[in-house]
Amino acid sequence: MIKKLNRRVAFASLTALGLAVGLGAPAFAGSHLLTLRMSTPASATDQRSIALEEVFAPAVAGFATYEPHYNGSLIAQNSELEAIASGDLEMSITSAQELAQFFPEFSIFATGYVHQDAAHQVAVFNDALMEPFKQTVEDELGVKLLSVMYLGQRHVNLRQTKEELTVMTPADLAGVNLRMPGTDAWQFLGKALGANPTPMAFTEVYTALSTGSVDGQDNPLPTVVDAKFYEVTNQIVLTAHLVDLNYVAFSKAVWDGLSADQQAIVQAAADAAAESGRQIQLQKEAELGAFLTEKGLEIYEPDMAAFRSHVQSMYLTTDASADWPEGVLDKINALGN
Ligand code: KDO
């Protein structure tokens, strides 16, 4: 908690300094195009990357050059927000879990079995309940959350064959070293699933699975295919424990230097990219089970009620929900089915 508070204060000051001295101040009038560097751990073939290149980039091309950096090659996973705050980066595809490092209340959007589907994510992001969250990130970190992108339903993906380990309830994951991304919110989710979470950057997961330094990882089916995790794992347990999202994060300092027309173009471009990526990702999720079965993976549903109740009670009976603003969970639930 102290660490988080320190980070929060430190970055509020850093952002104030960055804004005051004009770090990241854009030069985009006339023939001077603004460069929008975007860093993500995702690959160039991930649907979110493709959507930004194919939809966002051409829409802003009149005044900005979109410059994507993939596979964490420019900024390491989970450091992108600091980079935007300090003027070293203009855009990223961030997560609620990363934001929770600075603003613990964001963990509510990173909680298992809260978002119900892609449409629910959009309804929550566009609802008034989201305004104080967005405002805090803008004011204290200098980052604008433009739109919500759909990553998909995360499932547990293991090296063991189903014969070696069949997972029906959280108890079956006891002692399983499950790679989860390296922030507290992710690690807690791994524990809530009943596993032994191991923090690791996304770019290291394929090697860790192939050498057996972890037993498994969790990600949506399109990521399992895109990152070729199916080559080094044997089963997928369809836990659907997190309908995962990312936000299109944009430098507030750069935003403030845009004209009102340019801001409207950037906003519309981010929304259109998010919508395009969402539709393709949903289609892929529906189709890729068959592809993965062909590749030899065993795919099955566990006891969903057991997972849901174990995960939910872990959040509601521990400190994990202590920072959630009063009433927000009810509002999120009310926007679902
Ligand atoms: C991952 O590290 O497992 C994760 O899926 C977490 C997401 O928030 C997101 O950062 C994603 O990786 C990357 O964009 C790579 O797909």
CATH code of the domain in which 203 resides: 3.40.190.170
Which of 10-24, 167-181, 303-317 is predicted least confidently?
A: 10-24
317 domain residue, yes or no: yes
Same domain, 54 and 67: yes
Q: Does the Cβ of 72 fall within 6 Å of ligand 1?
A: no
Same domain, 251 and 167: no
Q: How far is the CA of 259 from the centre of ligand 1 (A)?
A: 32
**Is residue 29 very low, low, confident or very high in pLDDT (cuts 50, 70, 90)?**
low
pTM greater than 0.85: yes
1 domain residue, yes or no: no
Q: How far is the CA of 127 from the centre of ligand 1 (A)?
A: 25
Domain hosting residue 181, numbered range = 154-242+285-334
**Widest Cα–Cα separation across the chain:** 65
Contact indicator for 207, 189 with CB cutoff of 8 Å? no
What is the model's pLDDT at position 15?
44
Mean pLDDT for 282-292 is 98
Same domain, 158 and 273: no
2 domain residue, yes or no: no
Distances (CA, A) of 268 to 58, 59, 100, 273, 282: 12, 8, 26, 9, 21
Q: How far is the CA of 29 from the centre of ligand 1 (A)?
A: 35
Same domain, 162 and 62: no
User: Given the structure tokens 């989710």, which residue do they identify?
Assistant: 189
What are the structure tokens assigned to 288, written together?
């890729």
What is the model's pLDDT at position 204?
97
Q: Does residue 30 surpass a pLDDT of 80?
A: no
DSSP codes of every residue in 90-141: SEEEE-HHHHTTT-GGGGGGGSTT---SHHHHHHHHHSGGGHHHHHHHHHHH
Q: Does residue 202 surpass a pLDDT of 80?
A: yes
Same domain, 127 and 212: no
What are the structure tokens assigned to 198, written together?
């191991």
- From the list 221, 206, 218, 203, the residue with the least C-alpha distance to 79 is 203
Same domain, 225 and 249: no
How many domains is the chain built from? 2
162 domain residue, yes or no: yes
State which of 75, 186, 200, 219 you would mutate to test the pocket of ligand 1, scoring each by most atoms of that ligand within 8 A of its C-beta. Answer: 219
Q: Does residue 14 surpass a pLDDT of 80?
A: no
Same domain, 47 and 110: yes
Mean pLDDT for 39-68 is 98
Q: Report the C-alpha gap between 192 and 196 in whole angstroms.
A: 10
Q: Does the Cβ of 190 fall within 6 Å of ligand 1?
A: no
Q: How far is the CA of 31 from the centre of ligand 1 (A)?
A: 36
Q: Whose CA is nearest to atom 4 of ligand 1?
A: 202
What is the model's pLDDT at position 269?
98
Which value, in Å, is the radius of gyration of the alpha carbons in the chain?
A: 20
Same domain, 55 and 182: no
State which of 46, 183, 223 you would mutate to test the pocket of ligand 1, scoring each by most atoms of that ligand within 8 A of its C-beta. Answer: 223
Same domain, 107 and 31: yes
What percentage of the chain exceeds 90 in pLDDT? 90
State which of 107, 156, 202, 244 you would mutate to test the pocket of ligand 1, scoring each by most atoms of that ligand within 8 A of its C-beta. Answer: 202
How confident is the model over 88-142, as pLDDT tens digits? Answer: 999 999 999 999 999 999 999 999 999 999 999 999 999 999 999 999 999 999 9
